Structure 1
Amino acid sequence: MILSRRPDLERFLARPDPQVRAAVIYGRDMGVVRERAAQLARSVTEDPEDPFNVAVLTEGDLSGDEGRLEGELAAQSLMGGRRLVRLRLGGERAASEKLAVEALGRLLSGELNPEAFFLVEAGALGRDSALRRAAEKAEGCAVIPCYEDEAGDIARMTREALAKDGVGLNAEALALFVSRLPHERGVARREIERLALFLGPGSGVTAGPKDLETFLGVEPEASLAGAASDAFGGRLAEAQAGLRRAAQEGLSGPGAVRALGQHLGRLRRTLTLARNGAGLQEAAKASGVFWKDEREFLRQARSWSLENLDGITADVLAADRACKTARAPDALIAERLALQIAARARRLGL
């Protein structure tokens, strides 16, 4: 059973089908994987921290002890209640995946503890993954692929989290904040928490873009936003330097590609609105352009056309796909994309 639609997934995480005795949650965004696994664990057992009913294993625990996983799944609960066995996979998984596949098969065939629930948390599992194939075919196993959050997902998460602290952002500030956030769920949540502290929990503040200037000015993601602007502005050396500075701040190649794609999206929306009759400055504001960046953005918007941007879109999509390939040189892919964009911008006279 593959759960990818949000309503189905949320129902399952809140109240798992009693016939489901295992789940494999996987994806590139380990923050989303961990969050959904924690939610499912709370639904499966009363206390996910109970050492008598819950076993948490890693690949290191299985190294040199191949029977450990099946032993935990065969063990009976000492205190009553459903037993939960969590396996966290990461890195090179060939040997651990094989053990997980074997344990999954034995559990679902009734050879191990029928009251045990097997929860696997893994990174990106390709179509050739033995664990993914086995889980998708197995009766009584839920498979939950986790994709990177879209801007709308992050905006909703931001609104909900800030509302709990009694603060908020207006539409323009929310668009600006979301555009600067990484799409990795765990990092995004930490940044939202920092923003709530910045605004003052319980203060009732609804902040605008200018209120965020100090906060965003120290964000590492500002390096990526600046590099993207430099690329579309035809500044090759500055774009390259910005990407390398962002890499030193811990931001990966996929994040850089997203920043370039987001800048492309803002230019496209601005030019589309302008083509439909809006003033260019008005269109830029509607596209979420920060007021401090407006002058440079408008300079670019006057030189780029929708047709020129169409030629860039394919390059951005290709770079995004390349970054999702195992062991891809993410930083080099992003840097090459930025230089390609900067070179085109130069040919447009920027």
Structure 2
Amino acid sequence: MASIKAHEAERALARPDPAWRLFLFYGPDSGLVSERAAAIARASVDDPEDGFQLIRLDGDDVAADPLRLVDEANTIGLFGGRRAIRVSQTAKQLTAAVEPLLATPSRDAIVVIEAGDLQKSNPLRVACERARSALAVPCYGDAARDLGTIIDEMVRAAGKSIDRGTREHLTGMLGGDRQSSRREIEKLLLYVGTDPAVTQAHVEAIVGDSAAREQASLIDAVFAGRFPALDQAFGRLAGEMDQGVLLGAVLRHALALLKAKLAMEAGRSARDAVSGMRLPYPRMAPAEAALQGWSTEKLREAVVILGTAIAAVRRDGDMARPLAARALWTLARTGPAARR
């Protein structure tokens, strides 16, 4: 069996067992899934820029034609050399395509599968965890220690320094998605410019707070049905933030509203229910208004819409922005202000 814990991933991937011919990367952090998949695929070939050595396959295509992956893995390279096959995320089941390769691993190619947040009972995850020739790698949101390491590496690569207090402050302002965190750090380093060190003043000026306020503005606009505010906030966030992460934030708020709505149906007042959501004071009034305007049924519909949109965004990164916009505008049309 080749199953590891999340905290063991970096060490296992640093020196992979030669017996591992298939890697499954899964988990809620799609940025980390993509980053690790790209790293192991590129490390498995001599020239990552050679399309004959590093082959990209669409997950939906592989699910529709399982033998395609088997054929590709067992194809001998025209010019020899090591080969890697990287399969993108799909909501469809890939077990039929993977099982033949687990039974008879390819000698000439490494297969890298990207997946979403697979449950323990998911057939693909179970099959890979049980196979000696595969490694199943969980990818969860960065812990503070991991973020600290990323910050140090990126700051050092930029020729800057950062003290412990500033690093801890920055860590507290970053989220759990690896790619989003890296983009925030890159933006910070650009802002630092020629200054030799990253300071708390730099962090306060450019990271986290403004994005958090914009994100909160977008979320409240969605559930209030305020299209101008939604349009403005989405326009600013869409270019800076992973669309799946953005939709995930809206989904978390929808779930919190649903929980509060159920508490109201059990006898609590709207104000008491909102207090249980642990929101900053300025956001309590919009949340209370949303609870008054949204029914339990509509909130459940919102959860389904957002979950479907997140899966679609993960499947098709090129269409992420229009898919996210459509989901948010659909919800806004349901908001109390939109119905008046």
Do residues 159 (structure 1) and 152 (structure 2) align? Answer: yes
Trace 1:129-278 onto structure 2 (pairs within 5 A).
129-200=122-193, 203-208=195-200, 210-216=201-207, 219-223=210-214, 248=234, 249=237, 252=246, 255=249
AA matched with 1:136: E
Normalising to structure 2: TM-score of the pair? 0.64
Residue 217 of structure 2 contacts residue 233 of structure 2 at CA under 8 Å; is this kept in 1?
no
Task: Name the SS for the 1:179 alignment partner.
Answer: helix
Do 2:23 and 2:111's aligned partners in 1 also have CA atoms closer than 8 Å? Answer: yes
Which residue is equivalent to 2:255? 333
CA contact (8 A) 2:57 2:86 kept: yes
Q: Name the residue aligned to 1:3.
A: 4
Q: Who is 1:279 aligned against?
A: none
- Counterpart check, 1:99 vs 2:96: yes
Identity %: 30
Mean Cα deviation higher: 244-253 or 13-22: 244-253
Distance across 2 between alignment mates of 1:20 and 1:217: 39
Match of 1:317 in 2: none
Read off the aligned partner of 1:133 and give its amino acid letter.
V
Matches within 5 A, 1:34-113: 34-62=34-62, 64-90=64-90, 92-94=91-93, 97-108=94-105, 113=106
**Structure 1 residues 9-53: Cα deviation after superposition (integer angstroms, max 9, x where no partner):** 334323321122111111111111111112212332222332222
In 1, the alpha carbon distance for the partners of 2:119 and 2:254 equals: 23
Structure 2 Cα separation of the partners of residues 179 and 31 of structure 1? 19
- Could you report, residue by residue, the CA deviation over 1:95-128 in whole angstroms, capped at 9, with x for unpaired residues? xx133333433433xxxx4222211111111122
Paired residues, number: 257
Pair 1:247–1:182, CA change in 2 (3 A): farther
Conserved? CA contact 2:25–2:136, under 8 Å: yes
Q: 1:183 to 1:119 in 2, by over 3 A?
A: same
Structure 1 residues 341 and 154: alpha-carbon distance in aligned structure 2, compared to 1, 3 A threshold: farther
Flag the 1:46–1:160 CA change in 2: closer, same or farther, 3 A: same
Q: Which residue identity lines up with residue 93 of structure 1 in the other structure? A: K
CA displacement at 1:69 relative to structure 2:
1.2
Q: Secondary structure of the equivalent of 2:104?
A: helix
Across the aligned residues of Structure 1 and Structure 2, the Cα RMSD in angstroms comes to: 3.7
User: 1:53-84 CA distances to partner (integer Å, 9 max, x unpaired)?
Assistant: 22211124336544321110120122222221
Distance 2:172 2:116 in 1: 25
Displacement after TM superposition at 1:153 (Å)? 1.7
**Is the 8 Å Cα contact of residues 167 and 200 (structure 1) preserved in structure 2?**
no
Query: Is the Cα contact below 8 Å between 2:48 and 2:54 reproduced in 1?
Result: yes
Give SS of 2:210's match. coil
Please name the residue that 1:125 is paired with.
Answer: 118
Q: What is the letter of the counterpart of residue 176 of structure 1?
A: H
Q: CA deviation at 1:252?
A: 3.8
SS in 1 for 2:179: helix
Asked if the contact 1:254/1:334 (under 8 Å) is kept, the reply is no
Whichever residue aligns with residue 205 of structure 1, its letter is A
Over 3 Å counting, the alpha-carbon distance change for 1:216 and 1:225 in structure 2 is: farther
How big is each residue's C-alpha offset from its partner over 1:187-235, in whole Å with a ceiling of 9 and x where there is no partner?
A: 110110110010015x312412x343432487312456899xxxxxxxx
Check 1:334–1:253 CA distance in 2 against 1; reply closer, same or farther (3 A cut).
farther
Q: CA–CA distance in 2 between the matches of 1:81 and 1:27?
A: 31
Matches of 2:124 and 2:165 in 1, distance apart? Answer: 44
Greater C-alpha Rg: 1
Distance across 2 between alignment mates of 1:160 and 1:64: 41
1:67 maps to amino acid = L
